[in-house]
Amino acid sequence: MTINKRTYILPKNTQPTAKIIADLLGSIKRIQEVKKYHLLEQYYNAEAIIKDDVHKEPLIAVTAYARYIVELNCGYLLGDPVTYNVSEQYNIEPIQEVYDAQKIQNIDIKLENDASKFGHGFERIYINEAGECRSVSLDPRNVILVRDNTVEHRKMFALIYVEAVNEKGEIVEGEYDLTILTRDKIMERKLKGEVLMGETSGDMSHVFGDVPVVEYINDDDLIGDFESVLPLIDSYNILQTARVNDRLKTANALLLVSGGNLDKEQVDAIMEGRIADLPEGAKAEYITKTTNEQESETLRISIADDIHKISMTPDVSDKNFAGSASGVSLQYKLFTFEKHAKDKERCFEAALMERFSLYNAYLNRTANMEIIPTAKVDAVFQRALPQNDVEVANMINSLAGLVDKETLVAQLSFVSDAKETVAQAEKEEDRSLKLGTYGTFDGLTEDEPLAYTDSVED
């Protein structure tokens, strides 16, 4: 068995036998991979992570930098739902209706969140009890997608598994409840050691034409958006913790009394009443460590800048993102962020087309929908950024007659359906022309004939 990065590759036509499945679930690769997922989840949730070889003191100032990076990337890429364009000879309404019925944009957000957090996310496509095609996002810690060793690395089968539990809810060591998905079957099994248990009579065929599990990758290396800056996040948390600890130590500094002795009652009076009755010639002062706050702040800013630079995620609270900045100026500041988003978009769109094919195959068998080549379908992503609509409107006016109306109107941030907006505008323009030419119309509606009334007196 050859495994490349986070992808599982086996020889072509390998069947999901008990031995193969047991080897996959128990492999060192899988164990380390799941540990990595848990670690990334901890960073995302801003949990204190202690590393003995780095920092032994408890981290009391833990930042949610990982969550910030993930949320900003997801919001920028999918802040507005993905739309689909297709040439007029094809009709994708049946698929669009199924998407709309289940609010597919919410599932897209979950999948992109997993991809940004773990490096990839997984979607299962299934048929519910009502016979409707549906999607659900899967936790990558419970999915293994196996591909063949051809140049195309086609999917062979997927394992969706959870650890088995007994009647008390306790985990049973070495046992798993499995769903095995192949290109034509769905099988429910229980794995106990290297033995698969379950009746084959319960196996079901499906008509998706491929393994109904789609992998949404974040990039070609399957690396999450904040995984490359984990050491910097550690440094940031350690620095902030040290600064907080210094403040706490200053507040609880030792009191040094020189030139005299204090008995217990005098000490209690100082600690409780904050009054010092010192012997003649004695003096009291706190012992504190001198710290250079400016150096600490400079280091904090430097680490934060490196986090944003390496993760290619801008700091939108930075003064450089002032509201008066022009669109071109903002584009320069967001150049690396936009490039990263383009790479993510390319990977996400490939998975969306795979999903489209699976839905299309099912609806072709059950609703006589024609098979539509994915090459004829475009997934349209719209960036969720504040826009200067006045600037955009000026650009639209300057390009009128050179670019079609729908493309121009689609640039406006407050327009959700450019085609409908253009059609409505043309209808209103036609209505205004008729009113301006012939006078007024009584009881004018879209569906009724014109009732002309001459407004000129004899």
Cα separation, 363 vs 24, in Å, equals: 33
Residue 333 in 3-state DSSP? helix
Are 295 and 234 members of one domain?
yes
Number of domains observed in the structure of the chain: 3
pLDDT for 458 equals 42
Q: Which runs of E-coded beta strand occur in 39-170? A: 83-86, 120-127, 133-138, 143-148, 155-165
Are 359 and 267 members of one domain?
no
DSSP annotation of 254: E
Which secondary structure element, helix H or strand E, spans residue 380, and what is its range? strand 377-380
What is the average pLDDT across 25-32? 92
Are 38 and 111 members of one domain?
yes
Which of 169, 115, 153 is CA-nearest to residue 137? 115
Which of 423, 348, 416 is CA-nearest to residue 382? 416
Are 112 and 137 members of one domain?
yes
Chain-centroid distance, C-alpha 356: 20
What would the pLDDT profile of 123-181 be if each residue is shown by its tens digit? Answer: 999 999 999 999 999 999 999 999 999 999 999 999 999 999 888 888 888 899 999 99
Q: Which of 386, 420, 447 is the last residue of a domain?
A: 386
Q: Which domain holds residue 316?
A: 1-253+291-386
Are 130 and 157 members of one domain?
yes
Chain-centroid distance, C-alpha 238: 27
Q: Which of 37-41, 90-94, 244-248, 358-362 has the lowest mean pLDDT?
A: 244-248
Are 198 and 172 members of one domain?
yes
pTM, two decimal places: 0.79
Are 246 and 261 members of one domain?
no
Are 368 and 411 members of one domain?
no
How many beta carbons lie within 10 A of that of residue 100, not counting itself?
A: 12
Q: Report the percent of the chain where pLDDT is more than 70.
A: 78
Are 267 and 322 members of one domain?
no
Which of 175, 220, 183, 208 is CA-nearest to residue 6? 220
Mean confidence (pLDDT) of the chain: 84
What would the pLDDT profile of 42-86 be if each residue is shown by its tens digit? Answer: 999 998 776 655 556 678 888 999 999 999 999 999 988 999 988
Are 95 and 139 members of one domain?
yes
Are 268 and 362 members of one domain?
no
Are 218 and 266 members of one domain?
no
pLDDT grade for 391, boundaries at 50, 70 and 90? confident
